[in-house]
Structure 1
Amino acid sequence: MSTFLGSLWWMLVALGVLVTFHEFGHFWVARRCGVKVLRFSIGFGRPLWTRHGKDGTEYVVAALPLGGYVRMLDEREDHVPAHQLDQAFNRKPVLQRMAIVAAGPAANLLLAFALLWTMLVIGRPDYAPVIGKATGIAAQAGLRTGDRILAVGERETPTWSEAGMALTVAVLDRQPVQVRVQGGDGEESTRTLALDRLPASIDELRALEATGLIARHQLWPAIVGSVRADTPAWGVLAEGDRITAIDATPIASFDDIPPAVAALGTRGGPGMVEIERDGERLALELTPVRLVVGPGSSAWALGVAPAERRMPATDAVLRVGPLDAIPAAVRETGFQMRQLVEMVGRAFAGKVSVQNTVAGPLTIAQAANDFASRGAAWFLNFLALLSVSLALINLLPIPVLDGGHLLYYLIELARGRPLGERAMAAGQYLGLALVAGLMGLAFYNDILHLVS
Structure 2
Amino acid sequence: MMGLLWNLGAFLLALGILIAVHEFGHFWVARRCGVFVEKFSIGFGKSLWRKVGKDGTEYTIAMIPLGGYVKMLDERVEAVPAERRHMAFNNKKLWQRSAIVAAGPIANFLFAIFAYWIVFLVGLPAVKPVIGEVAPQSIAAEAGIVPGMELKSISGLKTADWESVNMAMISHIGDESMSLTARDPQSGMIVDRTLDLAHWSFDPESERVLTTLGITPFYPKFTLIISQLVEDGAAIRAGLRLNDKIVAVDDQPVTTWQQVVDSVRSHPEQALTITVKRGEETVSLPLTPAAKTLDNGEVIGYAGFASARDPWPEANLIHLQYGPIEPSAKRQSALGSW
Q: TM-score, normalised by structure 2?
A: 0.59
Cα offset for 1:44? 2.7
Provide, for residues 36-93 of structure 1, a one-character-per-residue CA deviation record: whole Å limited to 9, x for no partner. 1122222233333222222121212223222322222233333333222221223223
Q: Distance in 1 between matches of 2:19 and 2:82?
A: 33
- Are the counterparts in 2 of residues 40 and 71 from structure 1 also a CA contact under 8 Å? yes
- Are the counterparts in 2 of residues 147 and 181 from structure 1 also a CA contact under 8 Å? no
Q: Distance in 1 between matches of 2:79 and 2:38?
A: 13
- Do structure 1's residue 82 and structure 2's residue 82 form an aligned pair? yes
Q: TM-score, normalised by structure 1?
A: 0.46
Q: Distance in 1 between matches of 2:142 and 2:92?
A: 61
- Are the counterparts in 2 of residues 127 and 159 from structure 1 also a CA contact under 8 Å? yes
Cα offset for 1:12? 0.9
Change (3 A) 1:78 1:316: same
Provide, for residues 89-128 of structure 1, a one-character-per-residue CA deviation record: whole Å limited to 9, x for no partner. 2322333333333332332343234333433343222111
Q: Distance in 2 between matches of 1:105 and 1:39?
A: 19
- Are the counterparts in 2 of residues 51 and 58 from structure 1 also a CA contact under 8 Å? yes
Change (3 A) 1:107 1:308: closer
Q: Report the counterpart of residue 327 of structure 2 in structure 1.
A: 329
- Are the counterparts in 2 of residues 33 and 96 from structure 1 also a CA contact under 8 Å? yes
Q: Distance in 1 between matches of 2:328 and 2:204?
A: 35
Provide, for residues 317-336 of structure 1, a one-character-per-residue CA deviation record: whole Å limited to 9, x for no partner. 1113xxx32x2232344455
Change (3 A) 1:200 1:54: closer
- Are the counterparts in 2 of residues 132 and 146 from structure 1 also a CA contact under 8 Å? yes
Whichever residue aligns with residue 103 of structure 1, its letter is A
Change (3 A) 1:86 1:15: same
Q: Distance in 2 between matches of 1:5 and 1:222?
A: 29
3-state secondary structure, aligned to 2:309: coil
Change (3 A) 1:104 1:209: farther
Change (3 A) 1:53 1:199: closer
Q: Report the counterpart of residue 69 of structure 1 in structure 2.
A: 69
- Are the counterparts in 1 of residues 39 and 57 from structure 2 also a CA contact under 8 Å? yes
Q: Distance in 1 between matches of 2:209 and 2:162?
A: 15
CA RMSD of superposed structures (Å):
4.6
Higher strand share: 2
Superposition map of 1:7-22 within 5 A: 7-22=7-22
- Are the counterparts in 2 of residues 44 and 65 from structure 1 also a CA contact under 8 Å? yes
Q: Report the counterpart of residue 127 of structure 1 in structure 2.
A: 127
- Do structure 1's residue 118 and structure 2's residue 118 form an aligned pair? yes
The structure 1 residue matched to 2:162, chosen from 154, 160, 163, is 160
Provide, for residues 370-401 of structure 1, a one-character-per-residue CA deviation record: whole Å limited to 9, x for no partner. xxxxxxxxxxxxxxxxxxxxxxxxxxxxxxxx
Q: Report the counterpart of residue 24 of structure 2 in structure 1.
A: 24
Show structure 2 runs of 5+ residues with no match.
184-188, 225-244, 259-306
Q: Distance in 2 between matches of 1:219 and 1:138?
A: 24
Change (3 A) 1:212 1:4: farther
Q: Distance in 2 between matches of 1:316 and 1:138?
A: 28
Aligned residues, how many? Answer: 259
Change (3 A) 1:113 1:87: same
Q: Report the counterpart of residue 243 of structure 1 in structure 2.
A: none
Change (3 A) 1:102 1:191: farther
- Are the counterparts in 2 of residues 21 and 107 from structure 1 also a CA contact under 8 Å? yes
- Do structure 1's residue 186 and structure 2's residue 190 form an aligned pair? yes
Q: Report the counterpart of residue 51 of structure 2 in structure 1.
A: 51
- Are the counterparts in 2 of residues 20 and 42 from structure 1 also a CA contact under 8 Å? yes
Whichever residue aligns with residue 181 of structure 2, its letter is Q
Change (3 A) 1:45 1:122: same
Superposition map of 1:264-283 within 5 A: none
Q: Distance in 2 between matches of 1:97 and 1:29?
A: 9
Whichever residue aligns with residue 213 of structure 1, its letter is I
Q: Distance in 1 between matches of 2:215 and 2:140?
A: 8
Q: Report the counterpart of residue 437 of structure 1 in structure 2.
A: none
Higher RCO, Cα 8 Å, sep 6+: 1
Superposition map of 1:186-265 within 5 A: 186-189=190-193, 191=195, 196-198=201-203, 212-216=214-218, 218-220=219-221
Q: Distance in 2 between matches of 1:192 and 1:84?
A: 75
Q: Distance in 2 between matches of 1:130 and 1:8?
A: 36
Cα offset for 1:161? 4.3
Whichever residue aligns with residue 134 of structure 2, its letter is A
Range 62-71 or range 136-145, more displaced: 136-145
3-state secondary structure, aligned to 1:75: coil
